[in-house]
Amino acid sequence: MTETSEQTGQAPVDHAVEVVTASMVFNEGGSARVAALDAVDLVVEPGDFVSLIGPSGCGKSTLLRLIANLLDPTSGEVRVNGKSAAQARLDQDYGMAFQKSGLFDWRTVAKNIELPLELKGWDKRRRAVRVSEMLELVKLPDRGANMPWELSGGQQQRIAIARALASHPPLLLMDEPFGALDEMTREHMQSELLQICAATDTTVVFVTHSIPEAVYLSDRVVVMSAGPGRITDTIDVDLGGARDEETREDDAFYKKITEVREALRGSEMATGARGIEDR
């Protein structure tokens, strides 16, 4: 945890993400009024990997979209890299990846990775250099000329991650990016994501349904409950040293899974919500 400026006497460090009592209400005033988020506070420090987990309807995707400025909060404030969320979006301070890879069918893999760079106004040569770096990073160096549908689901998701990181954003926002993959591919992708984040020094906010996924990836797991969406618990995950396939067999790993599960049960019993994968 960062100390406050009063305690250290230094200039305050910019948080990667700072959400202050943010609420989000859909259909305000209508009959289908939904309180998706109610007075949520969240701070993510640079370099952190934070997962948001909770039952369906707990507002974890909504919270991610507030950080991305894809939605504006009904009340409260969202700051990214010390700027307003809107300014951070305009500056392309974050990259984003979704459950659907969202690759453009009419563009080659390389052209897909290039898109955010095109929009940023990079010249062709610089884009080409960056694209081959990114393809190298996600271990698909020869696939640039392929069309997206020629790739497997896991490969498509890697390209989506490469695209999200292409413009060097300090922050990566991911909405269940591995939710549609089979279990083996999923575990493999989790390990690769950790390597990529370590190599690029990226801060990550990661939405997931899966407890083991959240525990394996995160420095901190934020547990949420539904109706209205709230943060009920925050669990620090210290598994000691680098995480690899061995980590999945550790007692410490299982203990953390149990801890997160119990935290979720607590919130589930309070609200009667469902929808968490236990695997």
Partner 1 sequence: MKTSGWISSLVPPLAFGLAFLGVWELIVAVFDIAPFTLPAPSAIWSAFIERFDQVLEETLVTGTNALIGFVLGIVVGSLTGLLTVRFGVVESLLTPLAVAVNAIPIVVIVPILNNMLFGTTSQVPRRLMVMLIVYFVVFVNVSKGLRQVSPTHLELMRSYAATPTEILYKVRVPNAMGYLFTAMRIAAPLAVITAFVAEYFGGVQNGLATGVRNSLNGSKDVTWAYVIGASALGLTFYLVSSGLERLHGGKQTSG
List of residues contacting partner 1 (CB under 8 A): 65, 68-70, 89-92, 94-96, 98, 100, 102, 104-107, 115-116, 118-120, 147, 149-150
H or E stretch at 269: helix 251-271
Name residue, tokens 């790993």.
253
Pairing of strands 171-175, 94-97: parallel
Looking at beta carbons only, is 118 or 250 nearer to partner 1?
Answer: 118
Residue 111 or 220 having the CB closest to partner 1 = 111
CB of 80 to partner 1, least distance (A): 12
Smallest gap from Cβ 64 to partner 1, in A, equals 11
Q: 150 vs 245, which CB is nearer to partner 1?
A: 150
Nearer to partner 1, 120 or 265 (CB): 120
Helix (H, G, I), strand (E, B) or coil at 161: helix
User: What count of other Cβ atoms lies within 10 Å of the Cβ of residue 160?
Assistant: 25
Minimum Å gap between C-beta 154 and partner 1 is 16
Task: Name the minimum Å distance from CB 8 to partner 1.
Answer: 34
Pairing state between β 220-225 and 49-53: parallel
Per the DSSP assignment, residues forming a β-bridge with 75 are 23
**Cα torsion angle, 150, 154, 156, 159, sign:** negative
Neighbours of 168 (CB within 10 A): 12
| Minimum CB distance to partner 1, residue 233 (Å) | 28
Measured distance CA(257)–CA(232) in Å, rounded: 16
* Closer CB to partner 1, 80 or 138, in the complex: 80
Cα(95)–Cα(85) distance, rounded to whole angstroms? 13
Residue 63: CB minimum distance to partner 1, A: 15
The residue among 99 and 225 lying less far from partner 1, judged by its C-beta, is 99
